[in-house]
């Protein structure tokens, strides 16, 4: 079967990688790739991209993912379906929780992509985030530092939401 969804992640200490690997298992027809390994050809091949980054500094994209975003923005993304997930820490960074995910969303505006996978911000405890859109988050936020026990539950429900929308 031709795979249609590319999961691209950037991870410094392994949390985002851990989640991205789970996601690959939950989504038949998906392929996993580290941000630093992605080429323009691989981006062109897949109609669906799932992009996952952690947030570093205060509100910055993870290093490799930051470099990858420069490459991604130069590609023709017209018509692609994109879902986002982000790893962050609500307790220590309540004012920039998962900002990296919000930054991806901002950088891909006006690129002709369709975003899927918005997620309610209700069951989190942060003050501000660049990833909020009304009462929602632009994608799935996960907090392996404070709420690792909720990751599987959140991930499974998010997959139920996005899977039918991936062609
Ligand atoms: C120095 C440092 C800065 C961080 N800055 C943020 C931040 O601004 N916002 C946030 O939500 N999380 C922040 N985090 C938390 C990480 O994003 C979180 O631990 C994440 O799970 C790391 O994922 P990774 O191992 O895949 O890189 C920070 C962590 C560290 C150690």
Average pLDDT, the chain: 97
Domain count of the chain?
A: 1
Nearest CA to ligand 1 atom 18: 88
Assigned token pair, 66:
């930051």
Contact, 98 vs 82, CB < 8 A? no
CATH number for the domain including 143? Answer: 3.40.50.360
For 12-58, the pLDDT digits (tens) are 999 999 999 999 999 999 999 999 999 999 999 999 999 999 999 99
Nearest CA to ligand 1 atom 25: 13
- Whole-angstrom distance, CA of residue 67 vs CA of residue 141: 21
Please give the number of the atom of ligand 1 that sits closest to the Cα of 16.
Answer: 26
**Strand blocks (E) in 11-144:** 30-34, 48-56, 60-61, 81-87, 114-116, 119-120, 132-133, 136-137, 140-142
pLDDT at 1 (0 to 100): 57
Mean pLDDT of 101-126: 98
List the domain range (segments joined by +) for residue 115: 5-165
pLDDT at residue 78 above 90?
yes
**CB-defined site of ligand 1, < 6 Å:** 11-16, 54-59, 62, 87-89, 93, 96-99, 144-145
Distance CA 45, CA 113 (A): 15
């Amino acid at each position: 079967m031709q795979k249609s969804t590319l999961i691209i992640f950037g991870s410094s200490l392994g949390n985002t990688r851990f989640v991205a690997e789970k996601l690959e298992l939950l989504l038949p027809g998906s392929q996993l790739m580290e941000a630093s390994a992605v080429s323009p050809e691989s981006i062109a091949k897949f109609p669906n991209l799932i992009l996952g980054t952690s947030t570093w500094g205060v509100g910055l994209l993870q290093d490799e993912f930051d470099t990858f975003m420069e490459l991604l923005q130069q590609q023709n993304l017209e018509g692609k379906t994109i879902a986002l997930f982000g790893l962050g820490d609500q307790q220590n960074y309540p004012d920039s929780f998962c900002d990296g995910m919000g930054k991806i969303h901002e950088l891909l505006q006006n690129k002709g992509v369709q975003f899927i996978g918005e997620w309610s911000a209700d069951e989190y405890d942060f003050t501000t985030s660049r990833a909020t859109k009304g009462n929602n988050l632009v994608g799935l936020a996960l907090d392996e530092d404070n709420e690792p026990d909720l990751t599987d539950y959140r991930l499974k429900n998010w997959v139920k939401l996005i899977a039918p929308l991936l062609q």
